[in-house]
């Protein structure tokens, strides 16, 4: 009996050559590192060197996060990935009324350049690649990072890393937006221009399907809506006068890896193929790097369970293997206890060790694209691609990603799929080990890591001291220059950098832009 995949596509019990009838190996498969990049974006992939092993971390104060980063580097992490708390993600200072109760809870609190200095104290920014999961205020955190690097004596052209900077998916699945879509896209274009001129090795955006998947999107919905967002960003940059081959090589993507290993591998292969075709045929890109869909992967937090949490170690290993076999450029493995609380030092170390076992003890790095030519995977890749392209066409019929967002289309589609998953789990049709099958009569006790609630008061004290010591007139002048740039067409990042250098806070900078651009009010119109 045939099964269905996570996307609702048929999975046959046996595949043979007939599954590939009409298949064009030269056009769809090709060689690794060559168009359409089905088999990976680099000719040698992991046979040359393994993927970048990132560990996503950030909690409490900048000092606590700095200590965790130093531990991760000592244990073999090759790239840092910073989590910010909700007030920072929403552009509020830690002492703002809306920040109460959330300071330092899901990431590190960054209020000003003072906190950024502490966060990266003793970490050579010219040698470390840093990814920052920040969206609406991405420009601010990037500039703070650059300012701290300058204080370390690091030149901008030495800086490598990524800002997520994908605000469109915030309207779809996550909710940490600040401004309406149109000024948000203008800010994105300004970031593209600034980095092209000032920080040439920086990845200016990580277009994310991960959070859509966490909200309930199927693999097909994940890549369809993510690539539709990517198209919107490219159109915005081109409309702003940028040459596509001037910025497209610095675009990157961010996907989830689920436990459904075969479909996940097919998903990654299909996404690369679609993106290469779109960039070549729709936007006329000619630089091969513009056609490459390079992506970071994180294992699926939504699939972790609080019940029997050690079983999550197995889930994460399977998910990490799916990401590697699918050709990811970097990978974060979740800690087994994240469904309960922030990871402990031990669980974060075990998550990193999972990647190291795959890279150094398995043979997945011995050959490029191990699944190439698999009847099952090639057919599933075709099926995922066809379904994703159809869904992307529906977005285009609504006027593109922004117009579809304003009508609530993507959000409604994802919510319908999430409801289907919940129904299948509740009925037992979808097996979740330890939750609806293979349960324990009594769970074993577990002591999770907790964030000190006194952090909020300490951050408020730091802000009070900062405001008392800085030159208020210089801050006001810099914020006024920022508002003037926001009202016109000049790139806002240059006056923004000067405001942050003068020790304006994250909240003050975002408020200056709110005064000009307003705040987004979501619509459930669809």
Q: Are residues 363 and 477 in the same domain?
A: no
Q: b vs e for 24-50, b when ≥16 Cβ sit within 10 Å of the residue's Cβ?
A: eeeebbbebbebbbbbbbbeebbeeeb
Residue 358: predicted pLDDT: 98
Do 305 and 218 lie in one domain? The reply is yes
Number of domains, the chain: 2
Q: And the tokens for 221?
A: 């919905």
Task: Give a yes or no: residue 7 inside a domain.
Answer: no
Yes or no: say if 173 and 214 are a contact pair by the CB < 8 Å rule: yes
Q: Is 79 helix (H, G, I), strand (E, B) or coil?
A: strand
Q: Which residue is listed with tokens 């002492």?
A: 95
Q: Give the span between the Cα atoms of 125 and 443, in whole angstroms.
A: 43
Decide if 458 is inside a domain: no
Per-residue model confidence (pLDDT) at position 25:
65
Tell me the mean pLDDT in the region 499-526: 91
Q: In this structure, are 219 and 318 located in the same domain?
A: yes
Q: What is the CATH number of the domain that holds 376?
A: 3.20.20.240
The pLDDT assigned to 26 comes to 61
Read off the pLDDT of residues 317-371 as tens digits, 9 standing for 90 and up. Answer: 999 999 999 999 999 999 999 999 878 889 989 999 999 999 999 999 999 999 9
pLDDT digits (tens, 9 = 90+) for 36-57: 999 999 999 999 999 988 876 6
Look at residue 24 and tell me if it is in a domain.
no
- Does 247 fall in a domain? yes
Mean pLDDT over 226-230 rounds to 98
User: For 425-441, what is each residue's pLDDT tens digit?
Assistant: 999 999 999 999 999 98
Q: Which residue has the higher pLDDT, 58 or 151?
A: 151
In the predicted structure, residue 263 carries a pLDDT above the cut 60: yes
At 63, the pLDDT band (50, 70, 90 cuts) reads: very high
Q: Supply the mean pLDDT for the chain.
A: 93
The verdict on 83 and 185 lying in the same domain is yes
**Is 445 inside any structural domain?**
no
Shared-domain flag, residues 356 and 488 = no
Residues 501 and 396 in one domain: no
Q: Per the domain annotation, does 366 fall within a domain?
A: yes
pLDDT in tens, 80-128: 889 999 999 999 999 999 999 999 988 999 999 999 999 999 999 999 8
Q: Give percent above pLDDT 70 in the chain.
A: 97
Q: Is the dihedral of CA 187, 192, 194, 199 positive or negative?
A: positive
Residue 412 and residue 398: Cα distance in Å, rounded? 14
Give the pLDDT confidence of 167-190 residue by residue, as tens digits.
999 999 989 999 999 999 999 999
pLDDT of 383 over the 80 cut = yes
pLDDT given at position 223: 98
Report the C-alpha dihedral over residues 471, 475, 476, 482, rounded to 10 degrees. Answer: 160
pLDDT at 57: 67
| 423 and 487 together in one domain | no
Across the strands, what pairs with 203? Answer: 162
Question: 336 with 482, same domain?
Answer: no
In angstroms, the CA 59 to CA 342 distance is 8
On the question of pLDDT at 388 being above 80, the answer is yes
Is residue 448, in this structure, part of any structural domain at all? no
- The answer to whether residue 446 sits within a structural domain is no
Report pTM: 0.90
Residues 6+ apart with CB under 8 A from 93: 87, 99, 111, 463, 505, 506, 507, 508
Q: How do residues 431-480 score in pLDDT, each as one tens digit?
A: 999 999 999 988 878 777 677 888 999 999 999 999 999 999 999 999 99
Phi/psi for 501 (5° steps) reads -65, -35
Query: For residue 71, what pLDDT band results from cuts at 50, 70 and 90?
Result: confident
Tell me what the mean pLDDT of segment 219-227 comes to: 98
Residue-range definition of the domain harbouring residue 358:
41-427
pLDDT in the model for residue 81: 84
The 10s digit of each residue's pLDDT in 390-432 is 999 999 999 999 999 999 999 999 999 999 999 999 999 999 9
Please check whether residues 348 and 295 belong to one and the same domain: yes
């Amino acid at each position: 009996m045939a099964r269905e995949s996570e996307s609702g596509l048929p999975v046959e019990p046996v595949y043979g050559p007939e599954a590939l009838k009409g298949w064009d190996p030269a056009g769809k498969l090709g060689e690794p590192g060559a168009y359409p990049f089905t088999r990976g974006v680099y000719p040698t992939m992991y046979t040359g060197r393994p993927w970048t092993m990132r560990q996503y971390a950030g909690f409490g104060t900048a000092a606590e996060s700095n200590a965790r980063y130093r531990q991760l580097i000592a244990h073999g992490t090759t790239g840092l990935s910073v989590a910010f708390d909700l007030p920072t993600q929403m552009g509020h200072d830690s002492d703002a009324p809306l920040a109460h109760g959330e300071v330092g809870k899901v990431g590190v609190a960054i209020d000003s350049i003072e906190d950024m200095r502490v966060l990266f104290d003793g970490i050579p920014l010219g040698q470390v690649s840093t990814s920052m999961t920040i969206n609406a205020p991405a420009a601010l955190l990037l500039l703070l990072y650059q300012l701290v690097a300058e204080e370390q004596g690091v030149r901008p052209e030495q800086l490598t890393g990524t800002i997520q900077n994908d605000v469109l998916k915030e309207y779809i699945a996550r909710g940490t937006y600040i401004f309406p879509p149109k000024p948000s896209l203008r800010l994105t274009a300004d970031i593209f221009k600034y980095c092209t001129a000032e920080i040439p090795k920086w990845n200016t955006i990580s277009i994310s399907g991960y959070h859509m998947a966490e909200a309930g999107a199927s693999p097909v919905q994940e890549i369809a809506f993510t690539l539709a967002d990517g198209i919107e960003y490219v159109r915005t940059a081109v409309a702003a006068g940028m040459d596509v081959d001037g910025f497209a090589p610095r675009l990157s993507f961010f996907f989830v890896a689920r436990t459904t290993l075969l479909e996940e591998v097919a998903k990654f292969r299909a996404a690369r193929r679609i993106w290469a075709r779109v960039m070549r045929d729709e936007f006329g890109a000619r630089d091969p790097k513009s056609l490459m869909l390079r992506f970071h992967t994180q294992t699926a937090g939504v699939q972790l369970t609080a019940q029997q949490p050690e079983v999550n170690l197995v889930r994460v290993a399977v998910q990490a293997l799916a990401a590697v076999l699918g050709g990811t450029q970097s990978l974060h493995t979740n800690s087994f206890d994240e469904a309960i609380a922030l990871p402990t030092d031990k669980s974060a170390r075990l998550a990193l060790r999972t990647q190291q076992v795959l890279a150094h003890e398995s043979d997945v790095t011995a050959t490029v694209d191990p699944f190439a030519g698999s009847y099952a995977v090639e057919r599933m890749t075709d099926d995922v691609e066809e379904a994703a392209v159809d869904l992307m066409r529906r977005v285009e019929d609504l006027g593109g990603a922004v117009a579809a967002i304003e009508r609530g289309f993507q959000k409604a589609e994802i919510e319908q799929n999430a409801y289907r998953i919940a129904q299948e789990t509740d009925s037992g049709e979808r097996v979740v080990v330890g939750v609806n099958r293979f349960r324990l009569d009594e769970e074993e006790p577990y002591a999770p890591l907790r964030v000190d609630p006194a952090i909020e008061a300490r951050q408020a004290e730091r802000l009070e001291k900062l405001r008392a010591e800085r030159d208020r007139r210089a801050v006001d002048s810099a914020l006024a220059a920022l508002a003037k740039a926001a009202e016109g067409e000049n790139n806002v990042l240059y006056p923004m950098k000067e405001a942050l250098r003068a020790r304006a806070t994250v909240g003050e900078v975002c408020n200056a832009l709110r005064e000009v651009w307003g705040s987004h009010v979501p619509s459930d119109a669809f």
